[in-house]
């Protein structure tokens, strides 16, 4: 589903990604862990072209993201085509980023109506179903400010799912939440994984990575240090760097 | 302070040389009322041009396309850098530069052309001058509003597949409105009074009318009072309008809507404060 080959990315002189190679299979849940500044969030944002990559190739579902292949050169796609590709990839942010001037329902139906030109009735029916699924059926008309962090994040998940994406990206979805609210959000994500959604999750929740993840990637300083089965990597890290990191967070 | 204010009002009201009858005589006079109407037309038309063009310029200024951004920068630089009085005068006299405006087939005599003076009468010249100047200021106000919206909003909308224009129209601008409206209210009130500059083009708006009447009866101060009365009344109405606009765009930003002055008054009058335990 996602294929990265030698992906490089720099911000000015700072090289954030120094050659990332990985592959995510359909229905796989991949968790990416690592210290802050390791480039894991940047990599996630490259997958839906919120960040441009400087070198390498990155494709989703067999198609390059944000670029067109012509011979040996890559050309950046126009805005409209990048948007089409992005609409197939859902993303959930650390800071929720719900639209504050819209109710929960309006947040969810906005993109299906605007991007997929769905009728209001169709979009609303699905939105209500999704809100019900994340346990927020009674918050249809609430504005984001009136919701707790955990509730906001679950609305954000419903909003991303409303586009019926093939792939879901999670950028530290629980890092901004109070500890007692983390569980609800993780439950919603677990449900999604069980239904067979392909997911790439940047997280600090080692418990979630161990139980739900099919694979685990440990990144540091812009490269993948270690990757493999989550249980193995977490309990028997082979690299010193991984051991040092895990000893601090576990 | 209050005493000083009363003293001031008393002095004005009882000034022996002020002819209050003239004030009352002309306050609702037809020529003055026509002037009021034209002042409103000028204000609305100039603000519509200013806001519409201002939004376009602001979006262009923030565009990743360097040509768009440069054009917008140049426009703002030019129209903000020259006096609005000069701009009104320019449009009034544009016929000197461009006597005819027309469409035709090049290198032939076929086509139609209209005298610029017919195409741009004084009122339109005033609207152009005021509106195009206003657009430069509105562009900066709108730009400030757009910048004030958190970048995460744009990213979330883009991640859902919205195009740049959709993000701007549906997500960023509605949130920017909270920041844009107060200075826009300011601009509208300022515009209402700036329309009086249209008198250089002999546009018969409120100030021109008052001035013309005063020229015939020499009651300058009285007629300036008449004009001021109407300007004050109109700005007061605009202030109320601004309050309700701000209230509308605050939804979602506050948990509760700001109470209107009436609601506040009602609460003050009909709420009994029971002294609680201290």
Q: pLDDT for A24-82, tens place per residue?
A: 999 999 999 999 889 999 999 999 999 999 889 899 998 888 888 777 777 888 888 89
ipTM, interface predicted TM-score of the complex: 0.91
How far is it, in rounded angstroms, from Cα A212 to Cα A226? 18
Alpha carbons A198 and A193: distance in angstroms, whole number: 7
Whether A93 has its CB under 8 Å from any CB of chain B: the answer is yes
pLDDT of residue A244: 92
First vs last C-alpha separation in chain A: 30
- According to the model, what pLDDT value does residue B254 have? 66
B83-101 as b/e: b if 16+ CB within 10 A: ebeebbbbbbebbeeeeee
Q: What are the distances in angstroms from CA B112 to CA B97, B106, B115, B124, B125?
A: 19, 12, 10, 21, 22
- Domain extent listing, chain B: 19-102+113-251
Q: Which residues of A touch B257 (CB under 8 A)?
A: none
| B159 contacts A99? CB cut-off 8 A | no
Residues β-bridged to residue A33 = A218
Q: How confident is the model at residue B275 (pLDDT cuts 50, 70, 90)?
A: low
Q: Which residues contact B11 (CB under 8 A, 6 or more apart)?
A: none
CB of A160 within 8 Å of any CB in chain B? yes
Inform me whether the C-beta atom of residue A170 falls under 8 Å from chain B C-beta atoms: no
- Domain B19-102+113-251, CATH number (from 1.10.3720.10, 1.10.540.10, 1.10.260.40, 3.20.20.10): 1.10.3720.10
The token pair at B148 is 């004030």
Number of DSSP helices (H) and strands (E) in chain A, helices first = 9, 12
Bigger pLDDT: B271 or B183? B183
CA-closest candidate to residue A159, choices A133, A179, A197, A184: A133
Please tell me the predicted confidence (pLDDT) of residue B271: 67
Angle at CA A8, nearest 5°, toward A83 and A71? Answer: 70
Candidate from B159, B171, B252 with C-beta closest to A48: B159
Q: What's the pLDDT at B103? A: 73
pTM, two decimals, is 0.82
- Does pLDDT of B273 surpass 70? no
pLDDT of residue B278 exceeding 60: no
- What tokens were used for A151? 């509730």
Q: Which residue of A has its CA nearest to B171?
A: A99
- In total, chain A counts a number of residues equal to 250
B23 pLDDT higher than 60: yes
Q: Does A80 touch chain B (CB under 8 A)?
A: yes
> pLDDT digits over A157-208, tens only?
999 999 999 999 999 999 999 888 899 999 999 999 999 999 999 999 999 9
CA distances for B63 relative to A166, A203, B57, angstroms: 31, 34, 10
What residues of A are in contact with residue B181 (Cβ under 8 Å)? none
Cβ of B161 and A160 within 8 Å?
no
> A80-84, A228-232, B185-189: which range is least confident on average?
A80-84
Residues B214, A40: Cα–Cα separation, whole Å: 75
| Chain A: residue whose CA lies nearest to B248 | A101
C-alpha pair distances (Å), B236 with each of B13, B50, B192, B243: 22, 21, 11, 11
A246 and chain B in contact, CB less than 8 A: no
Q: At what angle do helices A120-133 and A104-115 cross, to 10 degrees?
A: 130
> pLDDT (tens digit, 9 = 90+) per residue, A108-132?
999 999 999 999 999 999 999 999 9
Sorting pLDDT into bands at 50, 70 and 90, what band is B274?
low
Q: Which residues partner with A9 through β-bridges? A: A17
Using CA atoms of A146, A151, A153, A157 in order, give the dihedral in degrees to the nearest 10. Answer: -120
Helix (H) or strand (E) holding B102: strand B100-104
How close A204 gets to chain B, by Cα (Å)?
21
* Chain B positions in Cβ-Cβ contact with residue A97 (cut-off 8 Å): 150, 152-153, 155-156
Distance from CA of A163 to the nearest CA of B (A): 7
Q: CA torsion angle for A139, A140, A144, A145 (degrees, to 10)?
A: -50
Q: How far is A18 from chain B (nearest CA, A)?
A: 24
CB contact under 8 A, B170 and A110: yes
Nearest-CA distance from A35 to chain B in Å? 22
In terms of Cα–Cα distance, which of A108, A116, A93, A187 is closest to A141? A108
**Do residue A93 and residue B152 have CB atoms under 8 angstroms apart?**
yes
């Amino acid at each position: 589903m996602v294929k990265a080959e030698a992906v490089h990315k720099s911000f000015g002189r700072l090289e954030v990604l120094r050659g990332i190679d990985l592959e995510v299979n359909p229905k796989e849940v991949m968790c990416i862990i690592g210290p802050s500044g390791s480039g894991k969030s940047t990599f996630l944002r490259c997958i839906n072209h919120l960040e441009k990559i400087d070198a390498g190739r990155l494709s989703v579902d067999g198609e390059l993201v944000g670029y067109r292949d012509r011979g040996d050169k890559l050309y950046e796609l126009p805005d409209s085509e990048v948007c089409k590709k992005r609409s197939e990839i859902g993303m959930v942010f650390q800071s929720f980023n719900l639209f504050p001037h819209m109710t929960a329902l309006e947040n969810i139906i906005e993109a299906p109506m605007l991007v997929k030109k769905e009728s209001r009735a169709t979009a609303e029916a699905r939105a209500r179903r999704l809100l019900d699924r994340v346990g927020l059926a009674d918050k249809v008309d609430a504005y984001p400010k009136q919701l707790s962090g955990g509730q906001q994040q679950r609305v954000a998940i419903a909003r991303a799912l409303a586009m019926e994406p093939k792939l879901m990206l999670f950028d530290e979805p629980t890092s901004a939440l109070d500890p007692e609210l983390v569980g609800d959000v993780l439950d919603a994500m677990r449900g999604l994984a069980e239904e067979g959604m392909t997911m790439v999750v940047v997280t600090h929740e080692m418990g979630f990575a161990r139980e739900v993840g099919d694979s685990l990637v440990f990144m540091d300083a812009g490269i993948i240090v270690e990757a493999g089965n989550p249980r193995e990597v977490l309990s028997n890290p082979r690299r010193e760097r991984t051991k040092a990191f895990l000893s601090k967070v576990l | 302070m209050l005493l000083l204010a009363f003293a001031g009002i008393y002095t004005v009201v009882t000034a022996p040389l002020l002819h209050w009858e003239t004030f009352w005589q002309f306050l609702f006079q037809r020529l003055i009322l026509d002037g009021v109407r034209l002042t409103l037309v000028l204000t609305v038309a100039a603000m519509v041009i200013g806001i519409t063009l201002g939004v376009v310029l602001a979006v262009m200024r923030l565009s990743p396309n360097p040509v768009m951004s440069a054009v917008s920068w140049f426009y703002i630089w030019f129209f903000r850098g020259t006096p609005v009085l000069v701009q009104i005068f320019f449009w009034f006299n544009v016929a000197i530069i461009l006597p005819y405006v027309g469409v035709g087939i090049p290198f032939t005599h076929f086509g139609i052309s209209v005298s610029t003076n017919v195409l741009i009468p004084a009122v339109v010249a005033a609207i152009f001058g005021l509106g195009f100047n206003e657009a430069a200021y509105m562009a900066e106000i709108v730009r400030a509003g757009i910048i004030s919206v958190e970048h995460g909003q744009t990213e979330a909308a883009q991640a859902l597949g919205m195009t740049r224009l959709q993000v701007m129209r549906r997500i960023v601008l509605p949130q920017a409105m909270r920041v844009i409206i107060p200075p826009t209210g300011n601009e509208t009130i300022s515009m209402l009074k700036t329309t009086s500059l249209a008198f250089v083009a002999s546009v018969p708006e409120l100030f021109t009318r008052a001035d013309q009447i005063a020229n015939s009866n020499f009651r300058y101060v009285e007629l300036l009072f008449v004009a001021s009365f109407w300007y004050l009344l109109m700005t007061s109405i605009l202030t109320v309008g601004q309050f309700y606009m701000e209230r509308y765009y605050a939804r979602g930003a506050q948990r509760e809507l700001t109470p209107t002055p009436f609601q506040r008054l009602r609460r003050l009058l009909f709420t009994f404060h029971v002294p609680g335990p201290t």
